[in-house]
A and B are shown apart, each in its own frame.
Chain A
Amino acid sequence: MIEAPPVLEVRGITKRFPGVLANDNINLSLHKGEVLGLLGENGAGKSTLMNMIYGLYKPDEGEILVNGAPVEISGSKDAIELGIGMVHQHFQLVDVLTVTENVMLGNEAVSGPFLRRDRARREIESLSREYGLDVNPDALISDLPVGIQQRVEIIKALYRHADILILDEPTAVLTPQETRGLFKIMHTLLERGVSIIFISHKLKEVLEICDKVVVLRRGAVAGHADPKDSTEQSLASLMVGRDVILEVEKEEATPGDEILNVVNLHVRDDRGLPAVEGVSFGLQRGEILGIAGVQGNGQTELVEALTGMRAVDDGRFFIQGEELTGAAPRRVTERGVGHVPEDRQRDGLVASFTVMHNLVLSTYYKDEFSKAIVVDERAIAENARQLVEQYDVRPPIINNVVGGLSGGNQQKVIVAREFARDVDLLIASQPTRGLDVGSIEFIHRQIIRMRDAGAGILLVSSELDEVLSLADRVAVMFEGQIIDILSVEEADRDTVGLRMAGVRAGAAAEA
């Protein structure tokens, strides 16, 4: 019996960008109904490879075969015709259009020049039913949470009859619950004969969902792995090229004076609706208070209020005993608060500025960097050179524009800026979102170092594992309130998971 050819095969693909060898002689194959995991650090060349399969880039060398036949893919149109669908890391959805319009765009159902939204809607409804992709076809994209937007992306591919689906870091933006939902959908897709390439750097997920794994490192295949006889440890080493410590090593916390005190805080979101409703807690020097919770339960607004970026509706908070309710961000910063914002591109960096200028965004006006009204470029450059080396920003060129760096290195720039100051209170929101294991390890170690140096740390993360491994106490936020604060001993996955779903302490006993 002859084995069927792989639905997708890549042979000897090489792609060069000016000065960079992005993909170096890559081979891989995907068989029908299986999930191929593509693992690699930020900048290892995963997205470049996928963009070539999807026709957005042209390979310099090598060939791509679909169902055993060599194909020429010179645009996304060709890829779509070959049955290849891609869910991009940054969703390619038009915010102001409806789900139906987004799905049909480019392959519209029409009579003459006129759109037939009803026909497209019916097709979307039947796809929804078949694959368990629940979505309202008439909703505007801008009104949908990311988890649902992702479903729309998958429907987009299925609507075009894709049987090869590329998911580029699909879980990076999802909550644990949404990830569960995605995996369920993926299983349904596989049963229906769809083959999937799953790109990620979350080792646990790759081990769980993939049938085989290809690891990329610096543009080349570093190895193949079978999830059945791999561990997170072995995959991480293969990916980074050295042994990685996945467990965070830390000593027992030695809490000192209280540094942050929040009393009955109320904050509204952008739409003017209550987002934080009566939050109170205290944080001491030398401890890490983790705030767990499904995203969108008020964490963002809480952090923005504490850093002076959002007006406080009611209640107050004190930093080092001084009331800073409603103070401007500059005053909060001057009081010794470091802030790693949730959305690094929006709130953390000026993308078009260089690395060295981004490194002084919160200190440029100080005597250190300014003489009278003139900034001291030499001092700024010297500062940048030190930090770039110390925090291992790659490439270590201080005149690079920050927007051109990979996500992990952008985050390192923020961390370098915020951690290098004399910080007594660090507010870190999703500090490792979208980063690879190497960068995560680095940032985690820096956070522990800050704690041991006597700073108080407020860590907000929707990654439950991150909170559990770093925090000394865990507060769970649900619908704008802190519904429980657990010590690290009490906080196991299940308890915290229940609280995140809104089950209060004692409620289970009653039931």
Chain B
Amino acid sequence: MSAAAKAKPTRRLAFKLTRRRIIAIALVVLGAFIFVESSILDSELITTLTFESTSTGQTPTVGNIPVPTSAYLLVIGLLFALSGALNLFEFEEARPRQVSLALLALCALLFIPTIIIAAAAGNETNLTTIVAESLRLATPLAIGAFAGIWCERAGVVNIAIEGMMLFAACFGFTTLFFLRGTALPLETAQLLAVIIGVLAGGVIALLHGWLSITFRTDQIVSGTVINILAVGVTSFIRREYLLSTEAGAAKLGNFALPVLSELPVIGEAIFTNQPIFFMMFVMLAFTHIVMFYTRWGLRTRAVGEHPHAADTLGINVNRTRWINVFISGMVAGLAGAWFSLEATGSFNDGMTRGAGFIALAAMIFGKWTPIGAFGAALLFGFSDSLGIRLQMVGVGFPVQFLQMVPYAVTLVVLAGFIGRASPPKAVGQPYVKE
């Protein structure tokens, strides 16, 4: 309010709602809520944070951390409220401004541990499992988001990621289902199934390209058509071919990464895992490197931002888009294969459950960069894993409420820190040579 205190004969708002203040207000509210919550809890309650599964019977290499829940929440509540209140002010001097910003950063850092501790309230909570679960559940979201990046960076909107995933999940599983009876070893059959899934995504993407690049259909319409088509075709296939027998197959097997899997604690929980999970990291690196360090990536970004400029330099705009859309489809196909081949070993109608759209949200949240999208996907994955964990532990209030928290955080962070996301400028616009 200090800014308004300077008396000026203007009509400007007395209190400007800056991004920082939005966060500050949210923090104050949250702090107050946590404070109230802490006073309700039994003060004897102790949450134990563990890092290793105790069921294996081995002596833990890393100790457990007991946290007196009520006291912890009391402190955190006060801290949040205080730093929120501090950040409502505009400081002219450097020192208090730095202090208030540092407090803000501290709150951000403590946020996720706080959710975990509050949620577990009095039980034992395994942090390693939560991290591993978050990563596992983030897999289709992250890979789906990379699929979106490939397409949209070239200027083609892809809301058909959902449909491409569903097609891939279905065709991949169907392949495996029919190969089961043959002499092929299981691993080979599974590999073929994944490849067919990936190709199915690519083929559907070609349909998207055909509609939106060649015929210049509105890209949203084209994507919607594919999404609707996917639901129909895949449930038809399931009814016709898969339902007739007991449709289930072996999931993709675990791999132990050399060296890394030897690490204590995380070696088993994270580096001994299924192939598409590992592919997530490969795709992260691949997408990032191609987009920002190669000729193809530079051209792709130019085509997505200012296709005419690219054209005047002799770059074939539509060819670039075609290839990127095709790659996007194959990447989405990999994400789809996760559902049927890696996660469940079966195919169900609409089993992607909107993951394609959440992947798109992750892409936007991550500002169309692979690393940002990966981070966003992790946040969404964390929210999912939290929900599952809480249901198992059984807390005193609706699980959905805590599960909602990461999304609420996303909203605040989006409004507060990140600001307006700026998509590639030419996204959604078909390119027509004059």
Q: How many residues of A contact B (CB 8 A)?
A: 35
Q: Bound state CA distance, A316 and B433, in angstroms?
A: 49
In the complex, A115 has a CB within 8 A of chain B? yes
In the complex, B396 has a CB within 8 A of chain A? no
Smallest CB separation, A405 vs chain B (Å) = 16
In the complex, B311 has a CB within 8 A of chain A? yes
Q: Bound state CA distance, A114 and B302, in angstroms?
A: 16
Could you give, for residues 71-87 of chain A, a 1 whenever the CB lies within 8 Å of some chain B CB and a 0 otherwise? 00001110010000010
Could you give, for residues 52-85 of chain A, a 1 whenever the CB lies within 8 Å of some chain B CB and a 0 otherwise? 0010110000000000000000011100100000
Q: A93-B309, A95-B305, A313-B10 are in contact. Are A105 and B299 (CB under 8 A)?
A: yes
With a cutoff of 8 Å between Cβ atoms, the chain A residues found around residue B302 in the complex are: 94, 97, 105
- The answer to whether B311 and A316 have CB atoms under 8 Å apart is no
With a cutoff of 8 Å between Cβ atoms, the chain B residues found around residue A321 in the complex are: none
Q: Bound state CA distance, A73 and B1, in angstroms?
A: 65
In the complex, A205 has a CB within 8 A of chain B? no
Could you give, for residues 393-434 of chain B, a 1 whenever the CB lies within 8 Å of some chain A CB and a 0 otherwise? 000000000000000000000000000000001000000011
- The answer to whether B315 and A106 have CB atoms under 8 Å apart is yes
- Selecting from B114-122, B242-250, B288-296, B352-360, the interface stretch reads B288-296
Tell me the dominant secondary structure on chain A's binding face: loop
- The chain B residue with its CB closest to the CB of A78 is B314
Partner of A76, one of B11, B12, B306, B313: B313
Q: Bound state CA distance, A106 and B295, in angstroms?
A: 8
- The answer to whether A105 and B310 have CB atoms under 8 Å apart is yes
With a cutoff of 8 Å between Cβ atoms, the chain A residues found around residue B433 in the complex are: 56
With a cutoff of 8 Å between Cβ atoms, the chain A residues found around residue B296 in the complex are: 113
Partner of A92, one of B8, B299, B309: B309
- The answer to whether A80 and B314 have CB atoms under 8 Å apart is yes
A-B contact count (CB 8 A): 85
Counting chain A CB atoms within 10 Å of each CB, the highest count among B10, B305, B308 belongs to B10
Smallest CB separation, A48 vs chain B (Å) = 10
In the complex, A314 has a CB within 8 A of chain B? yes
Q: Bound state CA distance, A80 and B434, in angstroms?
A: 19
- The chain A residue with its CB closest to the CB of B299 is A105
With a cutoff of 8 Å between Cβ atoms, the chain B residues found around residue A102 in the complex are: 309
Smallest CB separation, B209 vs chain A (Å) = 22
Q: Bound state CA distance, A115 and B302, in angstroms?
A: 14
Interface residues of A in 92-134 (CB under 8 A from B): 92-97, 101-102, 104-108, 110, 113-115
- The answer to whether A56 and B314 have CB atoms under 8 Å apart is no
With a cutoff of 8 Å between Cβ atoms, the chain B residues found around residue A311 in the complex are: 12
Could you give, for residues 243-269 of chain A, a 1 whenever the CB lies within 8 Å of some chain B CB and a 0 otherwise? 000000000000000000000000000
In the complex, A88 has a CB within 8 A of chain B? yes
Q: A92-B306, A312-B10 are in contact. Are A114 and B313 (CB under 8 A)?
A: no
- The answer to whether A106 and B293 have CB atoms under 8 Å apart is no
Q: Bound state CA distance, A56 and B311, in angstroms?
A: 9
Q: Bound state CA distance, A86 and B311, in angstroms?
A: 13
With a cutoff of 8 Å between Cβ atoms, the chain B residues found around residue A107 in the complex are: 313
Counting chain A CB atoms within 10 Å of each CB, the highest count among B8, B308, B313 belongs to B313
With a cutoff of 8 Å between Cβ atoms, the chain B residues found around residue A95 in the complex are: 305-306, 425
- The chain B residue with its CB closest to the CB of A263 is B9
With a cutoff of 8 Å between Cβ atoms, the chain B residues found around residue A86 in the complex are: 312
Could you give, for residues 284-315 of chain A, a 1 whenever the CB lies within 8 Å of some chain B CB and a 0 otherwise? 00000000000000000000000000011111
- The chain B residue with its CB closest to the CB of A110 is B295
- A–B pairs, 28, beta carbons within 8 Å: A56-B312, A57-B434, A75-B314, A76-B311, A77-B314, A80-B314, A92-B312, A92-B313, A94-B302, A94-B309, A96-B305, A97-B298, A97-B302, A101-B298, A104-B298, A105-B298, A105-B299, A106-B314, A110-B294, A114-B294, A115-B295, A156-B313, A312-B11, A312-B12, A313-B10, A314-B9, A314-B12, A325-B10
With A94-B306, A115-B298 known, 18 other A-B pairs at CB within 8 A are: A56-B311, A56-B433, A56-B434, A57-B434, A76-B313, A88-B312, A92-B309, A95-B306, A96-B425, A97-B298, A97-B305, A101-B298, A104-B298, A105-B298, A311-B12, A312-B11, A314-B10, A325-B10
Residue ranges of B at the interface with A (Cβ–Cβ < 8 Å): 8-12, 293-296, 298-299, 301-302, 305-306, 308-315, 425, 433-434
Closest 8 CB pairs of A and B: A106-B313, A77-B314, A92-B309, A113-B294, A108-B295, A326-B11, A94-B306, A94-B305
Residue ranges of A at the interface with B (Cβ–Cβ < 8 Å): 54, 56-57, 75-77, 80, 86, 88, 92-97, 101-102, 104-108, 110, 113-115, 156, 311-316, 325-326
